[in-house]
Structure 1
């Protein structure tokens, strides 16, 4: 089928289920921005996409949603589906029977880690499509941003089809859903460097942005705690 891609801590999953599974379900009912799903997502704050079937072997992503309660209700997100200047804007309303993919693109992960050693250890353990942070560093430079924020991570995720942000903090790792802006999983971590480096991963010449200067040097963990 051709698809047009217009693109409480204790409740969070621990290590065994650190990466929530992508799920497929459908819309049962719609009332304003409130959506009832046939099957709830594994965790609250998990985002997903709604796919409408137009017939004639044509379907399209029409909306983004986020689960707002453990009972399963979801809410429509009032934001661009995907950021792409070459794709038309679809204004099809969500309707009962529409397909839903929870955890859309969750295999595409951007990792923010304190040093190259930590980065290598994590990426060698998990079978994911790792979006290299060089790409995010370049994005920040172009945008004139000084440091990662939930807002620029969300914009970056839409542009580059990133499903999750894996963030290494002082003594823990968390998963941020950049579309909902919610931490959806966490686990403890040990043997981390005392100080993180900004940025450890550069493979090109220094960029003209405050994130790469002395202003934020040594504040890696403080910055990650703010996300």
Structure 2
């Protein structure tokens, strides 16, 4: 068990490095760029940054790695609108992404949020890591504000933006799934066989009750979560429909999860 957690802690430390690489190519529709990088995982997110002058930079786009070629050491990076810091009172520049702009990836990977079914499991996983853990109470507060007793993918994205959380960790069936907080792509899966006697729904938190908005009662996420594992597996499947390793895990798990197999985009 100690060896398993030592491996897990070492893996966490590898996520603390921000990756910076200049853009070497842009596709015709200006929706994807190419960068040179020694190694990177698909799903790692970040930003495209343009240097205005030596003292001023501006974020132009959100960025997510969509593919990596280890032979050429190049990665394709999809871009999307960056509007987190938008302000109608401020002037808007007309800068466009161009070769030479900088892709800054794995931003916020020194801060993580762990979703765990019990307090004991939460503390067993977090106590030996140098990662800056954002307590799930803060996430529960975000859920109450949004009226979501059942966490949605959008809630994780909001938490990532507001608290600069780069990584989400979810404990399921003796494994810790490490995900990019924005893309929700699975970066690693680590064995962590811990005894689980109970389940706190929707996850371990000291917040006694997560409010539901009465005027949104029929909306997504507004009913209390009834089962822990199926919900979080489903969230991951939606973001990783072609992940063969995740498919095999679900297929070999409890029979109650087998209904989720149809949500994968994988041919047997």
Q: Secondary structure at the match of 1:69?
A: strand
For residues 144 and 94 of structure 2, the distance between their equivalents in structure 1, rounded to whole angstroms, comes to 33
For residues 38 and 107 of structure 2, the distance between their equivalents in structure 1, rounded to whole angstroms, comes to 14
Higher relative contact order (CA 8 A, sep 6+): 1
Map Cα deviations across residues 162-189 of structure 1 (whole Å, 9 max, x no partner). 1111111112111121211211111112
For residues 127 and 87 of structure 1, the distance between their equivalents in structure 2, rounded to whole angstroms, comes to 40
Map Cα deviations across residues 47-87 of structure 1 (whole Å, 9 max, x no partner). 121221111511122211111112211111x2435367699
TM-score normalized by the length of structure 2:
0.69
For residues 106 and 29 of structure 1, the distance between their equivalents in structure 2, rounded to whole angstroms, comes to 26
The answer to whether the Cα contact below 8 Å between 2:149 and 2:210 also exists between their aligned partners in 1 is: no
Match of 1:170 among 173, 188, 196: 173
| Aligned CA distance change for structure 1 residues 23 and 214 (closer, same or farther; 3 Å) | closer
Map Cα deviations across residues 139-195 of structure 1 (whole Å, 9 max, x no partner). 111111131222221122122221111111112111121211211111112023143
Q: How many residue pairs are counted as aligned between the two chains?
A: 209
Q: Secondary structure at the match of 2:113?
A: strand
Q: Give the aligned partner of residue 26 of structure 2.
A: 30
Q: Give the aligned partner of residue 10 of structure 1.
A: none
The answer to whether the Cα contact below 8 Å between 1:26 and 1:37 also exists between their aligned partners in 2 is: yes
Unaligned 5+ residue runs, structure 1?
A: 1-13
Unaligned 5+ residue runs, structure 2?
A: 1-6, 70-74, 214-221, 236-268
Q: Give the aligned partner of residue 68 of structure 2.
A: 70
| CA RMSD across the alignment | 2.7
For residues 193 and 43 of structure 1, the distance between their equivalents in structure 2, rounded to whole angstroms, comes to 31
The answer to whether the Cα contact below 8 Å between 2:118 and 2:196 also exists between their aligned partners in 1 is: yes
Q: Give the aligned partner of residue 43 of structure 1.
A: 41
Match of 1:108 among 107, 111, 130: 111
Larger radius of gyration between Structure 1 and Structure 2: 2
Q: Report which of the two has the higher share of helix.
A: 2
Q: Give the aligned partner of residue 225 of structure 2.
A: 216
